[in-house]
Structure 1
Amino acid sequence: MTTYGTIPTSTAPSASSSSSPLDYISRAKERGRSALATRQPWRQFGDVRALSLPRSLGDSYIRIRTNAAYFAMNYAIVVLGVVFLSLLFKPVSLIVFIVCTVLWCFLYFLRDVPLVIYGREIGDRAVLVFLSIFTLVALLLTKATTNVLVSLMIGLVLVLIHAAIRRTEDLVLEGEAEGPGKWYTPLP
């Protein structure tokens, strides 16, 4: 039976059609928003009244583990900020860092579908290894590897200090854990 003059109502994309760049950008924006939504308020992160020295090594471990789960996105922003600041006076390294960050975002973090090159599907592990090697070689070529490693260590030390001295009694931990047994699962 022919249905001349009707408008198809199916909005499901066909398997053969590829996504437009605008669809990809809007998905990337949505994922970025959802990732940043896990960031806790900076006022709560920097609350001076919530700082105190831990009573024991076990207490500091529990604080670090709980704060790492609760403030994970804040800590990632702090570490990336320290790395970015360390590269401000090395413009070539900063450009390479930004290019590597974009590659990581598009090829690893923001991908919905498997990566296919020349008809072959590339697994996540292969992409991870390739991007790691590429980033390392690119930073070695710009002679900024020491600078980046030192800034990563400084960022890590800052994060560990904050996580150890930030009390956890006022944190609301419901629904924060992705699953049991992960290293970032908050402790009650």
Structure 2
Amino acid sequence: MSSPPPLPISNPRPTAAAASSFATPALRAFIARLSDSLHRTLAHRRPWSELADRSAFYHPDTISDTASHICNNFSYFRVNYLTLLAAVLALSLLSYPFFLLTLLSLLAAWLFLYLFRPSDQPVTIFGRLFSDRETLGVLILVTVVVIFLTSIGSLLLWATLVGLGIVCVHGAFRVLEDLFLDDQEPLGSGLFSFIGGAASSVAVVAAPSV
């Protein structure tokens, strides 16, 4: 009796293929642009010793002085203030790992299922094919539920208020000399230019899908 012929063995490596399908050119360009913008923005950060210089603190006399101090300090210490705000949000989320994991999963869903998903790879769940409009509707619904109908929204709100409170208190009592005000960077530079460019890029990517 002759033995049956051996069956062909193939090794498609689905894990590597699936990983490479996520790394679309648009996603790689987005990550590269984000990294470059963060590096350029952090390069304009003021020294933290200057932020905490006790000799530069002064009690404002009027409400108009307080508002003027806050505006001037925000223009000058903009990157430092945004870093502080991000640090407060990060510490708040790190104290609740489940909330952090939920937000990261939500962000990954937006990136991989809608914004940077190749047009030739439709979303299929349990054998059902979802159109781009249905995928967008489900993502919006899940985002609204997660942010506004759970404790994650209140945590983000309180962390943002605490961060803004720290920024406003520091800005109200920190005095800047006129020579510092001449050294301000334009509002549209650094991270703010990236936000505007990223918003337009996402709109271009999402427009054909909707």
Aligned to 1:163: 171
Give the direction of change, closer, same or farther, for the CA distance of 1:19–1:133 in structure 2 (3 Å limit).
same
Aligned to 1:148: 156
Render the CA deviation track for 1:143-177: whole Å, top value 9, x for unaligned. Answer: 22212211111111111101100001162433523
* Segment of structure 1 superposing worse, 131-140 or 74-83: 131-140
Residue 56 of structure 1 aligns to which amino acid in structure 2? T
2:88 counterpart of 1:85: no
**Cα RMSD (Å):** 3.6
**Equivalent residue for 2:76, pick from 55, 70, 90:** 70
Render the CA deviation track for 1:32-65: whole Å, top value 9, x for unaligned. Answer: 1112223211111111211111121111111111
Runs of 4+ aligned structure 1 residues displaced above 6 Å come to 101-104, 114-117, 130-134
Secondary structure, counterpart of 2:151 in structure 1: coil
Aligned to 1:55: 61
Give the direction of change, closer, same or farther, for the CA distance of 1:102–1:40 in structure 2 (3 Å limit).
farther
Identity %: 28
Any stretches of 5+ residues in structure 1 without a counterpart?
1-17, 108-113, 120-129, 180-188
Give the TM-score, by structure 1 length: 0.60
Asked whether the equivalents of residues 93 and 139 of structure 1 are also in contact (C-alpha less than 8 Å), the reply is no
Any stretches of 5+ residues in structure 2 without a counterpart?
1-23, 121-137, 189-210
Residue 71 of structure 1 aligns to which amino acid in structure 2? F
Give the TM-score, by structure 2 length: 0.55
Distance in 2 (CA, whole Å) between partners of 1:61 and 1:30 is 33
Secondary structure, counterpart of 1:171 in structure 2: helix
Aligned length: 145
